[in-house]
Amino acid sequence: MANDKVSIHGAWASRWVFILAATGSAVGLGNIWKFPYMTGMYGGGAFVVMYLFCIALVGLPIMLAETLIGRRGRQSSVNTMRSLALEAGASKHWSIAALMGMIAALLVLSFYSVVAGWALDYILSMGRGDFAGIDAAGAGAAFGSLTDDPWRLTLWHSLFMLLTAVVIGKGVVAGLERSLRVMMPLLFVLLLVLLGYSFTTGHFQEGFNFLFHFDPSKVQDGILAAMGHAFFTLSVGVGAIMVYGAYMPKKASIGATVLAVGLLDTLVALTAGMALFPIVFAAGLEPGGGPGLMFVTLPIAFGNVAFGQVMGLIFFVLVAVAAWSSSISMLEPAVAYFVEKTGRSRAKVTAVLALLCWLVGMGTVLSFNLWAQAKFFVFAEDGFHLLQWGAEGGKTFFDSIDYLTSRILLPLGGLAFALFAGWMLGREAVRDELAMRSPHLFKLTLWLMRVVAPVGVLIVFIAELIK
């Protein structure tokens, strides 16, 4: 049965705008920051191969599931899951998965905004030339100075949250579509400039070999990390792609569109690695620098190579743009839902939700300084403590929110979306949305959504919980 529903929030002008939007949601700190440092930690090419394999078998099927659910329902993620479940004769409680995803997106945005604020601060520092000739001790001290200052962190956190809210408040066409038409081309141009510069360092071949040299002995070390990153990098599991799918034109091919998003997202991650590793090698630094790669290792590299300050400035602008394009997708599911639920204007709903995220984000700001000794979920000799000051072990506020979202809510959301699309929605509804000409390709796609992707998510979920 054909689906002729229309979203009250508006629609993308074409499938290419959806590709820009979904790619913008997927491309963020995970591509520019996390992928390069994880590649360094897990042996280069072996990690890349496993990552690409997991993107195809786990990430893309779940993105496909979210997109077709969204376009089928044409509402916010919560209302879409509820209405489609009732249409299929299933329990309306499937909408709880979308509700969890929506809450997870807001929680992720609360700390994502703080980390993105670090990039804004580094744009200013690079522009002033603060990292010229800097060494490891100086770079570490510069980062420590930033995270130790709650007022400075609050300023950048507030500015980034305001930038996110302004785009969302203007609506799908005037806000999201117009901003993404500028942001995404700018992101690609900045990335290509950095890649071009890496050719001039004299270490491009070394960086390329590191990224693509395949060492079979390293596969076992990085397979779980690759599977987890493949899942999270596509921004699935929170309902953002589902909401973007609700604005997608009916005539657009979901399969081809999602494949294009996956290819672009992967291309950005690989290009970031090819752009950054030669610069790191040129400065004589270690590529497996871990999470500190972006805010400690790279500033040293940019501060000690020719034209590094200019390239460093371009890099942190790139990081900020990538983070901005992702952050708007995190706020959109909740805004769409509360506009539908309350009937209030989009601007008012956005203002309230952005303020809420800002307040929760202040917990992350303080986790690095004034609340650094506040530890949650502490298992001590005298029993379990939800909160204990100065305890050994436990998690900071930031670590707690990160753990809850990345290791529990997002995997459960992605699992639920794949199972709902594959088993609950109905074979004919899925066939109608995918409109695949080849019956064999349709069967393969359905099998990936129903079996392979859920099993992959469960493996990551269980492995992360028992660490």
pLDDT given at position 381: 72
Q: Is residue 9 part of a domain?
A: no
Q: Is the model's pLDDT at 220 over the cut of 80? A: no
Give a yes or no: residue 147 inside a domain: yes
Q: Is residue 7 in a domain?
A: no
Average pLDDT over residues 55-65: 94
Predicted confidence (pLDDT) at residue 41 exceeds the cutoff of 80: no
Task: Look at residue 391 and tell me if it is in a domain.
Answer: yes
pLDDT confidence of residue 289:
61
More confident residue, 261 or 43: 261
Task: Give residue 458's pLDDT band: very low, low, confident or very high (50, 70, 90).
Answer: very high
Highest mean pLDDT among 132-136, 275-279, 349-353: 349-353
Question: Does position 23 have pLDDT exceeding 80, yes or no?
Answer: yes
Predicted confidence band at 164 (pLDDT cuts at 50, 70, 90)?
A: very high
Q: What is the mean pLDDT of residues 140-160?
A: 97
Domain that holds residue 361: 15-465
Tell whether the model's pLDDT for residue 216 goes beyond 70.
yes
pLDDT surpassing 90 at residue 113: yes
SS (H, E, C) the chain: CCCCCCCCCCCCCCHHHHHHHHHHHHCCHHHHHHHHHHHHHCCCHHHHHHHHHHHHHHHHHHHHHHHHHHHHHCCCHHHHHHHHHHHCCCCHHHHHHHHHHHHHHHHHHHHHHHHHHHHHHHHHHHHHCCCCCCCHHHHHHHHHHHHCCHHHHHHHHHHHHHHHHHHHHCCHHHHHHHHHHHHHHHHHHHHHHHHHHHHCCCCHHHHHHHHHCCCHHHHHHHHHHHHHHHHHHCCCCCCHHHHHHHCCCCCCCHHHHHHHHHHHHHHHHHHHHHHHHHHHHHCCCCCCCHHHHCCCHHHHHHHCCCCHHHHHHHHHHHHHHHHHHHHHHHHHHHHHHHHHHHCCCHHHHHHHHHHHHHHHHHHHHHHCCCCCCEEEEEEECCEEEEEEECCCCCECHHHHHHHHHHHHHHHHHHHHHHHHHHHHCCHHHHHHHHCCCCHHHHHHHHHHHHHHHHHHHHHHHHHHHCC
pLDDT digits (tens, 9 = 90+) for 406-421: 888 999 999 999 999 9
Res 227: pLDDT:
80
* Weakest mean pLDDT among 31-40, 176-185, 325-334, 392-401: 31-40
pTM score, whole prediction: 0.93
- Whether residue 10 is contained in a domain is answered as no
Residue 5 lies in a domain: no
Task: Identify the band that residue 288 occupies on the pLDDT scale cut at 50, 70 and 90.
Answer: low
Percent with pLDDT over 90 in the chain:
69
**CATH number for 342:** 1.20.1740
Per-residue pLDDT at 231 exceeds 90: no
Average pLDDT over residues 196-221: 86
User: Does residue 1 sit within a domain?
Assistant: no
Share of the chain above pLDDT 70, in %: 98
| 3 located within any domain | no
User: Total structural domains in the chain?
Assistant: 1
The pLDDT score that the predictor gives to residue 4 is: 66
User: What is the pLDDT confidence band of residue 105, given thresholds at 50, 70 and 90?
Assistant: very high
pLDDT at 382: 74
Lowest mean per-residue pLDDT among 167-171, 214-218, 343-347: 214-218
